[in-house]
Amino acid sequence: MKIALGIEYQGTHYCGWQRQNHCDSVQANVELALSQIANHKIDISCAGRTDTGVHGVGQVVHFETDVERQLKAWVQGANTKLPGDIRMAWAKQVPDTFHARFSAFARQYRYVIFNRPVNSAVLHNRVHWEPLRLDEESMQRAAQALIGEQDFSAFRASQCQAEHGRREVQMVEVSRRGDMVFIDIKANAFVHHMVRNISGTLMMIGKGSKPESWVAELLAGKDRTLAAPTAPASGLYFVNAFYPDEFEIPCVELNEVLWQ
């Protein structure tokens, strides 16, 4: 049978999602916990790999097993064996046609900025701190140039292994709640560091260092070296992967998490 799981994690102490031989990863911890529950080796596939220090609240994975367990046993059992900064949120049986990565038609990220003169101790490594006041309305107007299918090479990391930079951004919204500024982006797919590079660029516009037209200019120029530095990983969250209704995969509601 094939089981899908929802996973949330704080990525601060991990070298990203993907299993690696030389460091501790989220994937390695999840596979070890599930293997202990299944009494056999479990390999998982995820909706979207995240980098070192990046967090997740709606990561989706799947695995296959012949072992019969109640769905709550996968969640509750694995959680007893996971470190406190990784948790299973739900489990459900899915058809053999489901794939956590390839069945997803869109993904959503949120970049969280703590925007006040003094940093927060309790939010350390969970947000990006920006002491200068950001104009979120200017950032929102500039961000609308990102909507649609276009070449995002200006926001693509040099080490990106994708064949090309064309992606379709379906939604981008910059909003503020008190001292928190949120950059929410939904797209069919992302190139490497795309959200963090966009966030860095929008913050420069929010601080008044660049005009609102800069985003459109960067997109047209397709030159990564002309855009802003990559925003720190601590502010980035993988929020949701979206699937056809037939799979009935839960989504995270943004108004319920992340200081909204």
CB 108 within 8 A of CB 139: no
96 is catalytic: no
Residue 185, φ and ψ in degrees, nearest 5: -135, 130
Under DSSP, is residue 113 helix (H, G, I), strand (E, B) or coil? strand
Residue 227 CA to residue 77 CA, distance in Å, equals 46
Which of 24, 51, 179, 184 does the annotation list as catalytic?
Answer: 51
| Nearest CA among 127, 194, 59 for reference residue 185 | 194
User: For strand 106-114 and strand 128-129, is the pairing parallel, antiparallel, or unpaired?
Assistant: parallel
For 201, list phi and psi in degrees, rounded to 5: -65, -45
SS3 assignment for 19-70: CECCECCHHHHHHHHHHHHHCCCCCCEECCCCCCCCEEEEEEEEEECCCCCC
Contacts of residue 30, Cβ cutoff 8 Å, sequence gap at least 6: 5, 7, 44, 61, 78, 82, 86
Phi, psi of 184 (to 5 degrees): -105, 130
Distance CA 232, CA 57 (A): 18
Task: Kindly list the distances between the CA atom of residue 192 and the CA atoms of 92, 135, 170, 189, 240, in Å, as whole numbers in the listed order.
Answer: 30, 26, 18, 10, 17
DSSP, res 231: P
List active site positions.
51
